[in-house]
Structure 1
Amino acid sequence: MSLIYKALCAISGGARNAALPLWAHPAGGCGKVLSACFLLALAALGHAQEQAQDARAQLDAAAQRMIAAELKGTAQKEGWKGMTFRVENNLPNSLGKLPACPSDPQLRSSEAPATPSARRRFEANCPGQPGWPVYFTSQPTLYLPAVVAGGEIERGQTLEAGQLKLAPQQIGKSARTYFTRVEDVVGMTARRRIRADQPLTPALLDGALLVRRGQQVKIVASQDGIQASAAGEALANGKQDEVIRVKNLRSQKVIEAKVMESGVVSSLF
């Protein structure tokens, strides 16, 4: 730096500032020339930093757009309502030396993600520009409103709407099914004790009771194309396709019948 300073002083001492018309009088020293060079160096450094920030911002925005479009399609396919997400991009340090791409970088995923929340690996290209392609990873985190227990639910208890609520849950990398609508869970029974705020999954629940003990039901029978029905009383709880004992209220005869739908059973011959 001292050699550059001396050279600038020698130049300024023997010549007028013809190359720098900001000064009309002979330079009394090297200070003004050095200040001008320092400002030019700062401007160049600022430009380089701006380019690096632009390249980093370009890649971040491109990955955000690509993953957002992908997750939107997944949400529509799966019927997810109210899904939210965030994306963290792990960009390389070499971006500090990378000029910005004149157009939007072209991103290509190295492989299809196994799950919506799996890490993505990208190759970013900017045709004709030095320093490209760039390789980096992106990690999305997904949240989905899911049905959770509003309070403790005992084993064997039938779920009612007042016991349930929706709360955002992070969708993990492993496949796991959540209920996203309260009405899909109402009427099911708990296989085991469920804690307050615990997300409900199919593993925790049994199918809804379609027939309850003591309930009046419709008994239907079909044989040789002839159908008949009679009123009956369920002698046990029953879920879809379960066989329970039912009493025919007209004949008082107890028969076995298969649960077909809510309040309807089919007699077995």
Structure 2
Amino acid sequence: MEKFAKTRYSLGCLLLALAQTALAASPAEQEVERQAQKLVRQRLADAGLDQPDIRLQLLSPRDLPAACAAPWQADAADSRAFSRMRFDLRCPANGWRGAVIVRAAVGARVAVAARGLRAGEPLREEDIAWANRPVSDPADLFGAAAPPLGLASRAAIADGQPLRRRQLQAPLLVKRGAEARIVARQDGVEVNAAGEALDNGHQGETIRVRNLSSGKVIRGRVGPGGEIEPLD
């Protein structure tokens, strides 16, 4: 019982010390924290991610003045990685300048696989779930405003794994050697021809296709339905 009481006392002291440290943040550090929070939240918002969870650790210079006669100014100098950002801090009143390192642990609600997914399988609504996950590169993840519906994975994705842009692509609509429909449109007139795909093609990609009637090989853009729009 005595040992348990000591453990509780030690834990209480630790929490009190952390609280006192947070309260003791200087005005300079508070300004850096404010700018870091603003920057991280903006990057998450730009990527469409919500429910942010941001925890910051500051490594301030040893010669940081205790006070500044003017408001502190802090600007991001290097924010490429949340795990190690650098902010330029300055006091306009006396000309002091220094660098503060900010380590941010960031989380947000992102799209994850609702089940195990096979490579090349187009995503449907029931394949996508939402969960809070650590975020290092917001632009590589999907938020609830723009789920990755219709995209297909390049490799198998495990249940619960975040869906990343670099892992997904438009589904393969045209297979090399398969029959392809060539559709030419001009001034409201549509002309169709049978063709043979000479390359694999995802939506929006340019591939080669042979017109089976003329034997001519042309370049065409793959449409949303797998049709080929001539570019030549």
Q: If the TM-score is normalised by the length of the shorter chain, which range does it land in?
A: 0.5 to 0.7
- Per the alignment, do residues 257 and 161 of structure 1 end up closer, same or farther by CA in structure 2, a change over 3 Å counting? farther
Q: Which ranges in structure 2 are unaligned for 5 or more consecutive residues?
A: 1-20, 213-217
Q: Secondary structure at the match of 2:228?
A: strand
Match of 1:120 among 82, 86, 92: 86
Counterpart AA for 2:202:
K
How far residue 177 of structure 1 moved from its aligned partner, in angstroms, is 1.6
- Asked whether the equivalents of residues 117 and 141 of structure 1 are also in contact (C-alpha less than 8 Å), the reply is yes
- The yes-or-no answer on 1:186 pairing with 2:186 is no
How much identity, in percent, do the aligned residues show?
18
TM-score normalized with structure 1 length: 0.52
- Deviation at residue 93 of structure 1 after TM alignment: 7.5
Q: CA, structure 1 residues 182+204, in 2 after alignment: closer, same or farther (shift >3 Å)?
A: farther
Corresponding residue pairs, total: 200
Aligned partner (choices 149, 162, 182) of residue 126 of structure 2: 162
Q: Counterpart of 1:139?
A: 103
CA distance in 2, matches of 1:189, 1:54: 48
The answer to whether structure 1 residue 74 and structure 2 residue 43 are counterparts is yes
1:199 is the counterpart of 2:162: yes
Aligned counterpart for 1:58 among listed residues 24, 27, 30 = 27
Deviations 1:102-158 (A, max 9, x none): 766513458333345532244453836xxx777643222222322211111122322
Aligned counterpart in structure 1 of residue 189 of structure 2, from 227, 242, 263: 227
CA RMSD of aligned residues (A): 4.8
Q: Please list every run of 5 or more consecutive structure 1 residues that lacks an aligned counterpart in the other structure.
A: 1-51, 249-255
Q: Do the aligned partners of 2:173 and 2:201 also contact (CA within 8 Å) in 1? A: yes
Rg comparison, structure with higher value: 1
8 Å contact 1:85–1:143 — kept in the other structure? yes
Structure richer in strand, relative to its length:
2
1:7-33 Cα shifts (integer Å, max 9, x gaps): xxxxxxxxxxxxxxxxxxxxxxxxxxx
1:90 shift after superposition: 3.1
- TM-score normalised by structure 2 residue count: 0.59
Does the 8 Å CA contact 2:68/2:93 hold for their aligned counterparts?
no
Q: Is the 8 A contact 2:48 2:143 kept in 1?
A: yes
Higher helix share: 1
What does 1:1-269 correspond to in 2, within 5 Å?
Answer: 56-76=25-45, 78-82=46-50, 83-91=52-60, 101=67, 105-109=71-75, 111-125=77-91, 127=93, 136-172=100-136, 177-181=140-144, 183-209=146-172, 220-222=183-185, 227-229=189-191, 239-240=202-203, 241=205, 258=220, 260-263=222-225, 265-266=227-228
- The CA distance in 1 between the partners of 2:157 and 2:224, in whole Å, is 26
Paired AA for residue 179 in structure 1? F
Q: Which has the higher contact order (CA 8 A, sep 6+)?
A: 2
